[in-house]
A and B are shown apart, each in its own frame.
Chain A
Amino acid sequence: MAVVQLSKICKRYGSGGPVVVDNVDVTIGDGEFMVLLGPSGCGKSTTLRMIAGLETISSGTLSIDGRTMNHVPAKDRDIAMVFQSYALYPHMTVAENLAFGLKRRRTPSAEIERRVRETAAMLGLVPYLDRKPQALSGGQRQRVALGRAMVREPMVFLFDEPLSNLDAALRVNTRNELIKQHHRLASTMIYVTHDQVEAMTMGTRICVMNGGRVAQVGKPLDVYWNPADTFVARFLGSPPMNLFTVPLTGGDRVGTAAIETVLTRWAPAALAPLAGREVVLGVRAEDLHLSAEAAGTAAAGRIRGRVFAVEPLGAETLLAVETEGGTECTARLPRDTRATVGAVVDLFFRPEAAFIFDARTTAAIPASPLPGGGPSRAGAVH
């Protein structure tokens, strides 16, 4: 178990090359399950590889339990890593794959045997110990890769999109298996993914990355309900948060003819400097309803638009609507919703469910503490 600290970590390829990781400043606590989340090319895997020692660090400091690791070779960092491709040695059996790291560390053979058996039993791999990787299914290979990391009992576990090669059902099973193993081992784990469901369900905290920078770090639901900017707001949530660029017409109102809302979470004084400027209004798909009653308030915000797609998913129905200004938005509605393509509809939302972002910087404009506490963000969701 260990504390992993990244201080102003940068990665640049070549002297004049692009900066792929830019000033990453994150501390991962002992026993924490930190998820690095972001789209392809955002620098999350490079950050993980720098922690592993597989990439050099251009600047900044990486320390584990207070010890600077920048120049410590990967083999001496006592870190285990599970790769997206599993990276099992094809010429070795499952047992040999599991024991490979222990042999290098001069572990006594009886101890190797015990730990391999124990890990294999834990992951249901005992019947496959004598098989080569090509004779295993994708899920079994995944478990061997996980076992190879676990058997070493390292200080830190790293996972580089380990579930992305599995089918949907197996992904859910393996995700639960990983959560279980994290609770059992209580080790520090750093997990890279572009899948927000994995991040939300597995992470103690998530670190959302964009363009090589950390966009936001926090507990999954905190980040979901308080996104730092429009990127985080759209990246977390499926469908992504609906965003509308609209003028701030007063201290307490925002909108156009097609979008009207009252801002109840922001004190007028806080919004006064932005008066007359454009802001970005954000509303999550699940907060849009077909009537003010369904939204739960008579003073609901309203978005008017024309339906251009109806997606009945069984458990729910997604309604895709285009506003007069040409902005597209999606509403997640009950499964029995009936709507026709081409119909003009009004979508309602509670003012408390709205988000406001600065149109220029994309940063969230924090809501002001309201007298008496005011309605909570979570309270806006049903």
Chain B
Amino acid sequence: MSADATVPPAAGRGGFLASRTALAVAIIAYTTYTLGPFLWLATMSVRTTGEISADHYAWPRPFHWEQFRIAWVDSDFATYFWNSTIVVVTAVAVVTLVGAAAAHALARYRFRGNRILYGILFSSIIFPPQITLISLYQILVDYGLYNSLLGLTLVYVSLQLPLTVYLLEGFFARIPQDLFDAAKMDGYGDIEIFRRIVLPIGMPAIATTLILNFIQLWNEFLFAVVLITDPDKRTLPIGIRAFMGDHFQDIGMIAAGVMISVVPVILMYIFFSEKLIRGMTAGAVK
């Protein structure tokens, strides 16, 4: 092909530029729409509640960085952060490990009741989790796990496990059977195959469920507020809620708390984003 053949005609170039401009405008508008509230919150986190009340949208002048110190030290955000970390990291670790093993078993092994088990798991995704709240509350009370981080962790595991198994089963089922057979011929047993073949190959999907579960549980409010009562066992979302009174809301402190709480989510996303995108687009191309 000659070089000339690759140059679009003038009319074609104009159309191409117009379409690219329209796309750029649409992306900028969407980014502003989604990022705007976050930036507004970020500016509020370094302003006092008095300043915010005086002018909701003003630029911080001066920047009250001490708000973060006050939130972290004086308002027990360090405790809430630590509680959230313990509960969420433990729950996500258990969900990922158990979910991956269960998904592998459902995807790979033919056993009686396989599809029934899968159907039960799938049905639990369909119903809203809120309907289980009262029964879970009663179960935790009966077993002495109410108002404990362990109880909340177990509830989080039960909430996220079905979706995790569902997502991973779909991915694992697409791993060719020949790979498992080849590993068996190479001398490996079932657990070794899971560890050395399934987990590395399934890493994009595992990273996807890991980050989705982390975000979901890190921001979870309803179950935490019902199942935890002690102030020293609060997780971050409940801790932030504590700044809201019936007559007064410390908006500046709430904004600082929210900014602290989103840091781990952003870090998680940065760390796993490449694998997340690969997991979400798995199977899109051959």
**Does the CB pair B185–A104 fall under 8 Å?**
no
**Does the CB pair A87–B186 fall under 8 Å?**
no
Q: Which residues in window 129-184 of B have CB below 8 A to A?
A: 176, 178-179, 181-184
Interface size band for B: 10 to 19
Query: Looking at the complex, which one of A52, A75, A91 makes contact with B187 (CB distance below 8 Å)?
Result: A75
**Does the CB pair A83–B181 fall under 8 Å?**
yes
**Does the CB pair A101–B176 fall under 8 Å?**
no
Q: Is A74 an interface residue (CB 8 A)?
A: yes
**Does the CB pair B187–A87 fall under 8 Å?**
no
**Does the CB pair A87–B176 fall under 8 Å?**
yes
Interface size band for A: 20 to 34
Q: Is B188 an interface residue (CB 8 A)?
A: yes
User: A86 to B178, alpha carbons, bound, how many Å?
Assistant: 8
Q: Is B86 an interface residue (CB 8 A)?
A: no
User: A84 to B197, alpha carbons, bound, how many Å?
Assistant: 19
What string of 1s and 0s marks CB contacts (under 8 Å) between B183-204 and chain A?
A: 1111111001000010011000
Q: Is A100 an interface residue (CB 8 A)?
A: yes
What string of 1s and 0s marks CB contacts (under 8 Å) between A287-326 and chain B?
A: 0000000000000000000000000000000000000000
Query: Looking at the complex, which one of B178, B179, B185, B197 makes contact with A74 (CB distance below 8 Å)?
Result: B185
Residue of B nearest to A79 (CB): B185
**Does the CB pair A87–B182 fall under 8 Å?**
yes
CB neighbours (8 Å) of A148 from chain B are 182, 186
The listed residue with most B CB atoms (<10 A of its CB), out of A49, A52, A54, A88, is A54
Given A54-B181, A85-B176, A87-B179, residue A104 in contact with residue B186 (CB < 8 A)? yes
CB neighbours (8 Å) of B189 from chain A are 73, 75
CB neighbours (8 Å) of A87 from chain B are 176, 178-179, 181-182
**Does the CB pair B186–A83 fall under 8 Å?**
no
CB neighbours (8 Å) of A100 from chain B are 183, 186
**Does the CB pair A54–B184 fall under 8 Å?**
yes
Residue of B nearest to A160 (CB): B178
Q: Which residues in window 51-75 of A have CB below 8 A to B?
A: 52-54, 73-75
User: A227 to B192, alpha carbons, bound, how many Å?
Assistant: 47
**Does the CB pair A83–B182 fall under 8 Å?**
yes
Q: Is A338 an interface residue (CB 8 A)?
A: no
The listed residue with most A CB atoms (<10 A of its CB), out of B182, B183, B184, is B182
Q: Is A90 an interface residue (CB 8 A)?
A: yes
What string of 1s and 0s marks CB contacts (under 8 Å) between A243-254 and chain B?
A: 000000000000
**Does the CB pair A104–B188 fall under 8 Å?**
yes
Q: Is A89 an interface residue (CB 8 A)?
A: yes
Query: Looking at the complex, which one of B176, B178, B184 makes contact with A75 (CB distance below 8 Å)?
Result: B184
User: A85 to B176, alpha carbons, bound, how many Å?
Assistant: 9
CB neighbours (8 Å) of A10 from chain B are none
**Does the CB pair B185–A90 fall under 8 Å?**
no
CB neighbours (8 Å) of B200 from chain A are 91
Query: Looking at the complex, which one of A74, A86, A152 makes contact with B184 (CB distance below 8 Å)?
Result: A74
Q: Is A81 an interface residue (CB 8 A)?
A: yes
**Does the CB pair A52–B185 fall under 8 Å?**
yes
CB neighbours (8 Å) of A54 from chain B are 181, 184-185
**Does the CB pair A89–B176 fall under 8 Å?**
no
Residue of A nearest to B185 (CB): A81
**Does the CB pair A101–B187 fall under 8 Å?**
yes
User: A87 to B188, alpha carbons, bound, how many Å?
Assistant: 15
User: A39 to B225, alpha carbons, bound, how many Å?
Assistant: 65
Residue of A nearest to B186 (CB): A101
Q: Distance (Å) between the CB of B25 and the closest chain A CB?
A: 38
Query: Looking at the complex, which one of B179, B184, B185, B192 makes contact with A89 (CB distance below 8 Å)?
Result: B179
User: A153 to B189, alpha carbons, bound, how many Å?
Assistant: 20
Q: Is A80 an interface residue (CB 8 A)?
A: yes
Q: Distance (Å) between the CB of A114 and the closest chain B CB?
A: 18
What string of 1s and 0s marks CB contacts (under 8 Å) between A81-125 and chain B?
A: 101111111110000000011001100000000000000000000
User: A88 to B201, alpha carbons, bound, how many Å?
Assistant: 12
User: A335 to B187, alpha carbons, bound, how many Å?
Assistant: 54
User: A86 to B181, alpha carbons, bound, how many Å?
Assistant: 11
Q: Distance (Å) between the CB of A31 and the closest chain B CB?
A: 21
Q: Which residues in window 242-283 of A have CB below 8 A to B?
A: none
CB neighbours (8 Å) of B181 from chain A are 49, 52, 54, 74, 81, 83, 87
- Supplied contacts A53-B184, A84-B178, A87-B181, 13 more A-B pairs, CB within 8 Å: A74-B185, A75-B185, A80-B185, A86-B178, A87-B179, A89-B182, A89-B201, A91-B200, A104-B192, A105-B187, A148-B182, A148-B186, A152-B186
20 A-B residue contacts at CB 8 Å?
A52-B181, A54-B181, A73-B184, A73-B189, A74-B184, A79-B185, A83-B182, A84-B178, A85-B176, A85-B178, A87-B178, A87-B179, A87-B182, A89-B179, A89-B182, A91-B200, A101-B187, A104-B186, A104-B188, A152-B186
The 3 tightest CB contacts between A and B, nearest first, are A101-B186, A87-B178, A104-B187
